[in-house]
Amino acid sequence: MRFYTQQHKHYCGIDLHARAMYGCLLDQSGTKLVHKNVPATPEAFLRVVAPYREDLVVAVECPFPWYWLSDLCAREGITFVLGQALYMKAIHGGKAKNDKIDAHKIAVLLRGGMVPMAYVYPPEMRATRDLLRRRCHLLRKRAELLAHIQHTNSQYNLPEIGKKLADKGNREGVEDHFPDPRVRKTIEMDVALIDHYDKLLGEVELYITRTAKGHDAQSFARLQSVPGIGQILALVILYEIQAIARFPRVQDFLSYGRLVKCAKESAGKRHGLSGKKIGNPQLKWAFSEAAGLFWRQNKPGQEYFAKLEHKHGKGKALTVLAQKLARAVYFMLTRHQAFDLQRCVPA
């Protein structure tokens, strides 16, 4: 956890929403200079902070509409701090909670050097990262429709369809497998939606692979040297990491990717685990997918996975393999080397 500890003349804490924001501005002694609710527009923000622009720092909790405020502060030369929402327990643990109180707490934490920092993703890569995340969302919706067809088949205790419905050719005439016309209509809707998702996903993936390679072509090629990591997984990993230099240690990278479990200890006693939701879920998904593909697509990986499975069981073995691939990716990107199967999977 990193805290923002630099000292400034003025500290501004903002509880930011889509259409409004509550701001609290303090001086070095903690005196409230501004404490009011204003529209969430650049003009209103600049008007409020105009008298206090000298040595000003602005902090917000990490909600979804922070992009515009971060870009505005960068253009205006104002220091901007993005607070990690799950770490800011002083806000969520209070007896009373509203926008006015939250804004004051953010300003006080900022003045005291106690704002846990989240990463401010650079704007030039932000839109592509969000497009990749949207593509993953559509892919999950498509998977839900495929699962619904199989579940419906099980509900009516019908013979197995016997074909992999993810392939378009195998979906032709699948609705005829269901004798009830109302059920058949349900399956027709599912198949139509899956076909539409296939078209959308194909267009999005083609657009991304054509436009996203220019950001870091060498790292993109190195990631694809890992068995199991293709173009889309490489792009997801590349854009979620953005810059490997922001992780000083491999342990920090694994923690950010939700690939390690953090213990809760006190007085020498262990009280379970914590922090499961702190980190990047997209990286967790990408390395989990890569682990599953890795042990299926190469023989040394299969032999290594068999040893892990014998020792830990299948679920934990996949987790260990995902951690090992993440470590390999970290050192590949920091050392500018291609993937070495012999170093990753010992004989």
Q: How many other CB atoms are found less than 10 A from the CB of residue 263?
A: 11
Please choose, from the candidates 219, 218, 238, the residue with its C-alpha nearest in 3D space to the C-alpha of residue 132. 238
Looking at residue 347, its pLDDT comes to: 57
Please choose, from the candidates 1, 17, 142, the residue with its C-alpha nearest in 3D space to the C-alpha of residue 69. 17
Looking at residue 213, its pLDDT comes to: 66
**pLDDT tens, per residue, the chain with 347 residues:** 789 999 999 999 999 999 999 999 999 999 999 999 999 999 999 999 999 999 999 999 888 899 999 999 999 999 999 999 888 877 777 778 899 999 999 999 999 999 999 999 999 899 999 999 999 999 999 999 999 999 999 999 999 998 899 999 999 889 999 999 999 999 999 999 999 999 999 999 999 888 876 677 888 889 999 998 999 999 999 999 999 999 999 999 999 999 988 877 887 788 777 777 788 999 999 999 999 999 888 888 888 889 999 999 998 999 999 999 999 999 999 999 999 888 887 65
pTM of the model: 0.87
What would the DSSP string read from start to end of 180-230? SHHHHHHHHHHHHHHHHHHHHHHHHHHHHHHHSGGG-HHHHHHHTTSTT--
What's CA 119's distance to the chain center, in Å?
12
Looking at residue 89, its pLDDT comes to: 75
| 161: helix, strand or coil | coil
Structure tokens at 18: 């889509």
